[in-house]
């Protein structure tokens, strides 16, 4: 297989399947998903969790399914009102949220008896 070039995908397919393509494809300029067009936060729906617009499906739920090994195809079959673009928007939202997250480490509490040796 060494030296064989991969067939080029049409531009629209590159957007939808970029996560599953080899690193060489990811380096190409690919249109960025605007998750803001598909993900909303409404305090009246699921206590304000981010959801796919027009549904009661939380970004957290889709991320959890993917994390448990579900494929996009399985999600699309089970939740037929969800699109590939919705799944991509969930991943883009999660990525942006994690990138903006800041973690501050607290010093260990040496007076806590439960942590003594």
Q: What is the pLDDT of residue 117?
A: 53
In the predicted model, residues of the chain with pLDDT beneath 50 are 1-21, 24, 28-29
Q: In sequence order, what are the residues at sequence separation of 6 or more whose Cβ sits closer than 8 angstroms to the Cβ of residue 63?
A: 90, 91, 94
Which residue's structure tokens are 């598909």? 38
Domains of the chain: residue spans and CATH: 33-100 (1.10.10.10)
Distances 105 to 97, 108, 109, 110, 111 between C-alpha atoms, Å: 19, 9, 12, 15, 17
Q: Which class for 93: exposed (0-12), middle (13-18), buried (19 or more C-beta within 10 A)?
A: buried
Q: What is the pLDDT of residue 88?
A: 96
Q: What is the pLDDT of residue 110?
A: 62
Mean pLDDT, the chain, rounded, equals: 79
17-30, pLDDT tens digit by residue? 444 445 545 554 45
């Amino acid at each position: 297989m060494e030296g064989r070039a991969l067939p080029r995908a049409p531009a629209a397919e590159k957007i939808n399947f970029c996560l599953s393509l080899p690193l060489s494809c990811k380096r190409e300029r690919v249109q960025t998903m605007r998750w803001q067009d598909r993900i909303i936060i409404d305090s009246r729906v699921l206590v304000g969790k981010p959801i796919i617009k027009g549904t009661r499906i939380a970004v957290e739920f889709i991320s959890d399914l993917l994390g448990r090994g579900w494929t996009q195809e399985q999600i699309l079959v089970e939740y037929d009102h969800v699109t590939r673009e919705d799944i991509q928007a969930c991943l883009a939202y999660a990525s942006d949220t994690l990138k903006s997250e800041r973690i501050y480490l607290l010093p260990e509490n040496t007076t806590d008896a439960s942590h003594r040796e």
